Amino acid sequence: MADREDEGTAPHEEEPPRPPLDEDAAWAALIAGYDDDPEPGTAAAWPEAENVPVAPADPDPTDPAAVSTAPPPADRTIVIHPVISGPRDYELAEDDEEAHFVPPEPPPLPDADVTTKFAWIAVLGGPLLLLAFVLFQIELTWWAVTVGVGGFLGGFATLVARMRTDEEDDDDPGRGAVV
């Protein structure tokens, strides 16, 4: 990396070193001059177009000369809009019961045999056994880990092996989607 001296400008040797900045004094000066107005004749810190015009002072309502009794100018008009319905005035049309689709009652679930029931108990019970050991801070012994992991894997394998396959649809398995 090049130092600043190598960037094409030589350091000015006639400049005196600056004294360190007194941050506390700078903050105290800023706070002391917070509410002060700028000195007259100094340039504004922003463009003139951004200056906010000063509003005229409101007349004193107790002064009878300040209260105007003149009617408003004739070019002022009041427009009264008719009452129209809005989004909160919307009412639903009467529902026709025949217009809605009502699905038929699903058929009852088939009765599960004993092997399927024990497979589900193993799939769900194995991880629950391990979770109970961890939650109650009981030491995990070899038999608990074997029953938990083995029960899950054995139950899962039993459920997958006993899945039904529809033999009648296997006559042409490579046809893809049939419309």
In tens, the pLDDT along 90-143 reads: 777 776 666 677 889 999 988 889 999 999 999 999 999 999 999 999 999 999
User: Does residue 5 carry a pLDDT above 60?
Assistant: no
User: Does residue 39 carry a pLDDT above 80?
Assistant: no
pTM over 0.85: no
Tens of pLDDT, residue by residue over 52-93, are 777 766 666 677 666 666 666 666 677 777 777 777 777 777
Cα-Cα-Cα-Cα dihedral sign, residues 149, 155, 161, 165: negative
Contact (CB, 8 A) for 154 and 121: no
Contact (CB, 8 A) for 51 and 44: yes
Query: How many CB atoms within 10 Å of residue 124?
Result: 13
User: Does residue 12 carry a pLDDT above 60?
Assistant: no
**Distance between CA 4 and CA 141 in Å, rounded?**
69
Cα radius of gyration (the chain): 44
